[in-house]
């Protein structure tokens, strides 16, 4: 091989390496500088939309991912107001990443709440069916003067149970869970009264 050809091939190889490095580095640099890709304002808006979506999926401040997304979003907004666009873009990107995790965490939590609320509503329904049977037996066993009292007890029990069902149908799963203790306390108290009436 001639020395001139070797020299040419070396220069060609060096040129190709230089182009490869430039293709790797320049787009990242231009993106970082805001020349390529979305600007700081667009990234902050995307981050804000991601945080709002996470909130809609059930994420709250007690989830670390959601809290971190909110902090990064505020940092991005502050940097943008101060004119530090590079810093705003970096904070907005971090906020977007945390918001995606928060969306997933919110969905997982919401599904767990839905399953728990469904179990509560099914149990409330089972208890109401039991109460209806007890109520029917109690009516046969008491004098007519006590019928309004038993009817009032059943009305209270039905309200407690149907309140949980209504909340569940409105996708208020956390409120179903929060209302479980009081509703079941009411249902248990009514059951005890009806059992006494049915056996006296």
- What pLDDT does 1 receive? 64
Compute φ and ψ for 71, nearest 5 degrees. Answer: -65, -45
**What's the average model confidence in pLDDT over 38-51?**
90
- What pLDDT does 23 receive? 64
Q: What is the pLDDT of residues 116-154, one digit of tens each?
A: 999 999 999 999 999 999 998 888 888 888 889 989 999
Rounded to whole angstroms, how far apart are CA atoms 80 and 49? 17
What band does 65 get if pLDDT is binned at 50, 70 and 90? very high
Counting residues of the chain whose pLDDT is more than 70, the rounded percentage is: 84
Q: What is the pLDDT of residues 159-184, one digit of tens each?
A: 999 999 999 999 999 999 999 999 99
Tell me which residue of 34, 26, 153, 29 sits closest to 89, measured CA to CA: 34
Distances (CA, A) of 154 to 78, 163, 189: 58, 14, 11
Q: What is the pLDDT of residues 8-33, one digit of tens each?
A: 667 767 766 766 665 666 556 555 65
Enter the pTM of the model: 0.66
- What pLDDT does 7 receive? 66
Average pLDDT, the chain: 87
Q: What is the pLDDT of residues 73-100, one digit of tens each?
A: 999 999 999 988 889 999 999 999 999 9
Burial of 73 (C-beta count, 10 Å sphere; 0-12/13-18/19+): buried
3-state secondary structure 15-62: HHHHHHHHHHHHHHHHHHCCCCCCCHHHHHHHHHHHHHHHHHCCCCCC
- What pLDDT does 35 receive? 46
Q: At what angle do helices 147-169 and 85-141 cross, to 10 degrees?
A: 160
List, as one string, the DSSP characters of 121-172. HHHHHHHHHHHHHHHHHHHHHS-GGGHHHHHHHHHHHHHHHHHHHHHHHTT-
């Amino acid at each position: 091989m001639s020395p001139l050809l070797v020299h040419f091939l070396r220069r060609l190889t060096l040129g190709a390496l230089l182009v490869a490095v430039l293709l790797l580095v320049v787009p990242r640099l231009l993106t970082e500088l805001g020349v390529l890709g979305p600007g700081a304002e667009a990234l902050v808006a995307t981050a804000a939309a991601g945080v709002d979506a996470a909130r809609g999926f059930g994420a709250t401040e007690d989830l670390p991912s959601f809290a971190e997304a909110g902090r990064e979003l505020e940092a991005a907004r502050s940097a943008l107001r101060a004119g530090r666009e590079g810093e705003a873009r970096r904070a907005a990107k971090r906020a977007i990443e945390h918001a995606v995790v928060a969306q997933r965490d919110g969905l997982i939590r919401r599904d767990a709440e839905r399953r728990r609320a469904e179990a509560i509503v099914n149990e409330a329904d089972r208890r109401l069916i039991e109460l209806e049977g007890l109520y029917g037996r109690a009516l046969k066993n008491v004098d007519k003067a006590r019928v309004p009292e038993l009817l009032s007890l059943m009305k209270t029990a039905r309200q407690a149970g149907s309140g949980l069902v209504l909340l569940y149908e409105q996708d208020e799963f956390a409120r179903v869970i929060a209302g479980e203790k009081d509703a079941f306390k009411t249902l248990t108290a009514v059951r005890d009264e009806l059992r006494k009436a049915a056996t006296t």
